Chain A
Amino acid sequence: DTGVSQDPRHKITKRGQNVTFRCDPISEHNRLYWYRQTLGQGPEFLTYFQNEAQLEKSRLLSDRFSAERPKGSFSTLEIQRTEQGDSAMYLCASSTRSGTGELFFGEGSRLTVL
């Protein structure tokens, strides 16, 4: 399977715990994006990388959130001291620099904070 893969698919945690999600993009894609989707809403942009450089972060990405893409391949999104409001689907996507603007999304990592 050469699509975008995310791990874990589901995570249930208690409030205050830290969680980390991993995303493996399509191998030839140099751009990687994180989005968050809550019930009844569309995906909301969080951050994106071109190779290993984090080029933009949304104001939605509070200090408790950190994303990395250390070698320009896979990426991790860590949420520290989780809150119930962090419960959402975290979507990763990748793309090339040029093209139709198409993002290739993974299946997402669903976070439930109890």
Chain B
Amino acid sequence: AQSVAQPEDQVNVAEGNPLTVKCTYSVSGNPYLFWYVQYPNRGLQFLLKYITGDNLVKGSYGFEAEFNKSQTSFHLKKPSALVSDSALYFCAVKGKSGAGSYQLTFGKGTKLSVIP
């Protein structure tokens, strides 16, 4: 069965510093990988995705993510954190299940707090 791990429940970073939110995955075949952000009392918003091609993917609000096939990782990064980046971040993977159908699986989320 496919899975997504976000090893940190919470990440704290000072405003202006670079941030990284980690994600590793396990899936059969080639994965589609996504990052979503959730602000309080709102639904998830799409940030970026990796399908194929360049391992460095750029997305909304200055975020980027690097796909590393050998480490099965898809870490979310931003060069300079803003207080407004404080939110809950979800990594998700879509892959082929054993039965041949596609399944989308979300990680448990990482709460990012940017300290002024």
The answer to whether A binds B is no
Residues of B near any A CB (own CB < 8 A): none
